[in-house]
Structure 1
Amino acid sequence: MYVGIDVGTSMVKAAAFDAGGRALAVESRPVRLDIHGGHVEQDMEELYGAVVDALGTLTAALPEPVELAGLTGQGDGVWLVDAEGRPVRPAISWMDGRAHEFVDAWLASGVFESVFRRSGSAMFPGCPGPVLAWLDRHEPAALDAATTALYCKDMVFQRLTGVRATDVSDASMPFLDPRTRAYSSDVLAELGLAHRERLLAPVSDPVATGELPSGVRIANGPYDLPACALGAGVTEPGDGLLIIGTCLASLVATDTLDLDGEPGGLHISTDRPGHWLRAMPAMVGTAALDWVLTLTGTDLAEVDSLLDAVEPGAGGVGVLPYFAPSGERAPFVDPALRAELTGVSLESTAADLIRATCEGIAYAARHCLEAAGLTGTLAVCGGGTRSPAWMRLFADVLGRPLRIVEGEVGARGAVLASAARHGVPLDVAAWTSPTTVLTPDPARAAYYTKGYETHLTRLSSARARHGS
């Protein structure tokens, strides 16, 4: 019996699996985001309480003792805690936009590109570099009071086990040198944060281990994107993963570290030295569709029928789906970018707008996957996979077969990482087999190839209008 814990942005989940990787039970708890004026924060005590409650309820109902647990969670943001792991202030989420002034200045001065050349990470407002710089200027007392600036799962791990640590995947953004697998003092200095280096948690390489209060062994990490890659079986160079969730994340496994290209996305270090995930975690995702559904008064359950009712092209309506208050971070960084609707008339329907949004998100995914260097198979997971019509649309827009991997993929990957760390043999192929494989329709794929070119043209125009 194995348990994976996935501490997401809006939901905490604890999932139990048998030795063959079959999901036995899942406990979920919603967690709130406090969104105000471009600031996005979370209550750490509420989130940690949700973890404890979900984990306790799950394990109490299991027919057998748990042998091993793994932990993963949302990346980026800043989670300031004291020596006991207690919050100094509310966590600043990866979705937060307050630090855009620093990203803008670093883009203009060349610091942004210099940091990318050292770390392989293209910073965005919600990543720790800019957020810590903002706190250092505007809330220095909070940093002075803190012992550690953690990532989400690291905060939970410290509270559960007493161990203060992070891993190479979380540390990849933006302070880790992917060649040495250690913090870069040069990056800290360039960001004006050398005097705050004490706040960075020790990088445990391989991932840190500990014990839950119940005595069950647990390992910390990797964070949710690489955990999903493990859970979907994406480990061979060239193979990719698309996570259709709050964040639209595209990842491609690689054994080549190339920091000379256009700065964008990040290179996530993994537990295997010499192996990285070229990641393009776009801010656009299911949150964009949720906003449009709310605007049009449409229930999520209606999406499939509405997508089937409208032909490709959405009656001429087009959507650039960049709704995040912090702009976009992959495959380019543009804090000022915002969503645009085109081709709308009095004859346009809610179904047109919904289909155009779904198409726009799929175009953004294609943009990211191409930039990440996808050449092999493509696995897909996340909440978006629950819509069969949207998955068919994705297959057509991407023009390639999709290995749909359903269930708690991040929690599954957390267990696999923990098993590898503790030397527990599991059948990885069985744990990561796809639920189904979806192939594109050739005619629609050809249509969407032209639509993708139009999307890129509109995007270029939108960015040019404000000098990006």
Structure 2
Amino acid sequence: MYYIGIDLGTSAVKLLLMDEKGTVHKVVSKEYPICFPHPGWSEQSPEDWYAQSIEGIRELTADCEKEMVAGIGCGGQMHGLVALDDQDRVIRPAILWNDGRTAKQTEDLNQRIGKETLSKYTANIAFAGFTAPKLLWMREEEPENFARIEKIMLPKDYLSYCLSGVHCTDYSDASGTLLLDVEHKCWSREMLEICGVSEKQLPKLYESYEVVGTLKPELARGLGLSADVKIVAGAGDNAAAAVGTGTVGDGKCNISLGTSGTIFISSRKFGVDAHNALHSFAHADGHYHLMGCMLSAAACNKWWMEEILKTEDYAGEQAGIHKLGENQVFYLPYLMGERSPHNDPDARACFIGMSMDTGREEMTQAVLEGVAFALRDSLEVAKSLGIHLERTKICGGGAKSALWKRIIANVMNLKVDVIASEEGPGLGGAILAAVGCGEFADVEEAAAKLVRVVDTVEPEPELAAKYEERYAKFRKLYPALKETF
């Protein structure tokens, strides 16, 4: 049988076709625009997600036995607010995860309601990218639109609705709304009251591997697929990526170098970071995880390469970088503000330490190192909670760079396991679909059988020691500059 995994990203939707043995037969990517109507704002059209996904499914299945397609699972960008009216029409462009307009509402939640109270309600505090502050912004700034809301959706759930006709979400994605009681896996009545919404406006909650419905008959006919194709609830992109890298069960770690960057630590038990620097979310395997999320990871490298250096030769620009651990230039990777661990939407990127002999290699190296150092910030929080890690999986577009993986291994001082497929969220979505269709007993069994490690990048003691010194300097920079942002 075949299973379709969909990764609804920020710049494109990526789709893959996987069989029951985990072999990926085809990958398709379809881009769509992103809009920045004001500084710090970030929006997209949900209709674009759907249109490009349908085209992607059509292209993905063009040469396969269509009757063998059994299920579809989606992993997608988290936190985005998709508001539908009573006809299930999109009311306004979706406000995305990296949108920083809700600084006022976020501060109000954390100060007026209080971080301790929010953490009791939801296991998390308010971050500018979360969905609840977006709802408050919409209620204050667009009251007419807010009054029209019949259903509140997340990005990948809007796509699942379009495929199945079911208003659904899963616990991992719902965890990032600040509307879910994560520990008890139910909508928080207190948060709904604070945001002025009702439970009937929210989608039904599912585990990520549960079947929510089947492909709409008219859609199935148009795509040439069976109307029995099952749609599973899917997962937020980071939880889906963790499934795709086998980061399930207890004490496993995954680092994602996508548009955003994350360090993801799975756990069978619910737990909260007392300082709320890390997110405490439900996981797609039915358990829980802690996660540190930085808003700009591979996005920093893309910005530097394409907007500043005006090139797409990523490998060529990295080819001249040889003196690791000795770079005198630092880069703070806060292009869109920062989430973990600083929770500061006003933070901004900057280069520090240039001299007359600084060249483009040092600047490029600083970008790669700056992202690694920022991920290390979240690792340090995990260490403070008594979490001990020796290795991590890695995925995302940035993971294609051998140089970046080496930097990550030595900055984090962790063994970095590389898996056969780097299609993290898409592969995770396909695996969840396979579990939902009964191919495997549970997510852990599926990951154990389907995910293969093909290489490990080991930290080098001498280089890791050099990076330890560089990181000690890096971590002083944001506190020193905070008041200037």
Could you state the TM-score of these two structures normalised by the residue count of structure 1? 0.93
Aligned amino acid, residue 397 of structure 1:
V
CA distance in 1, matches of 2:316, 2:462: 20
- 2:36 aligns to what SS in structure 1? strand
Q: After superposition, where does 1:339-358 map in structure 2 within 5 Å?
A: 339-358=349-368
- Partner residue of 1:222 out of 232, 235, 239: 235
Does 2:222 correspond to 1:180? no
Contact conserved, 1:396 with 1:444, CA < 8 A, in 2? yes
Name which of structure 1's ranges 414-423 and 25-34 shifts more when overlaid on structure 2.
Answer: 414-423
The one-letter code matched in structure 2 to 1:312 is L
Which amino acid in structure 1 is aligned with residue 105 of structure 2? F
Aligned to 1:203: 205
The one of 57, 76, 86 aligned to 2:59:
57
The residue number in structure 2 matching 1:360 is: 370
Separation in structure 1 between the aligned mates of residue 447 and residue 111 of structure 2, nearest angstrom: 46
Q: Give the TM-score normalised by the residue count of structure 2.
A: 0.90
Question: 1:403, 1:434 within 8 Å by CA — same for their partners in 2?
Answer: yes
In the alignment, what sits opposite 2:264?
Answer: 251
Q: CA deviation at 1:308?
A: 4.2
Partner of 2:126: 123
Residues 5-43 of structure 1: CA deviation (Å, up to 9, x unaligned)? 111111111101122111110111001110132221101
The one-letter amino acid of 1:193's match is C
Q: How many residues align?
A: 461
- Cα deviation for residue 388 of structure 1 reads 1.1
Map 1:58-207 to 2 at 5 A: 58-63=60-65, 65-109=68-112, 111-173=114-176, 174-189=178-193, 192-205=194-207, 207=210
Cα distance between partner residues in 2 of 1:379 and 1:297: 30
The alignment status of 1:242 with 2:255, answered yes or no, reads yes
1:411 equivalent in structure 2: 426
CA drift at 1:409: 1.8
Q: Deviations over 1:112-156 (max 9, x none)?
A: 442123212232222111100000001121122221110001101
Higher mean C-alpha deviation, range 310-319 or range 14-23: 310-319
Answer with 407-416 or 175-184: which moved more. 407-416
1:336 is paired with a residue of what secondary structure?
Answer: coil
- Superposed displacement of residue 83, structure 1: 4.1
C-alpha RMSD of the superposition: 2.1
5+ unaligned residues in a row in structure 2: which ranges?
Answer: 221-226
How many Å apart are 1:317 and its aligned residue?
Answer: 1.1
Percent identity among equivalent residues? 26
Report Cα offsets for 1:60-86 as digits up to 9, x if no partner: 221452122212211112011234533
The list of structure 1 runs, each at least 4 consecutive aligned residues, that deviate by more than 6 angstroms after superposition, is none
Q: 2:482 aligns with which of 440, 463, 466?
A: 463
- Whichever residue aligns with residue 217 of structure 1, its letter is K
Q: CA deviation at 1:262?
A: 0.2
Matches within 5 A, 1:24-35: 24-35=25-36
Contact 1:268 1:276 in 2 (8 A): yes
SS at match of 2:14: strand
Structure 1 SS opposite 2:42: strand
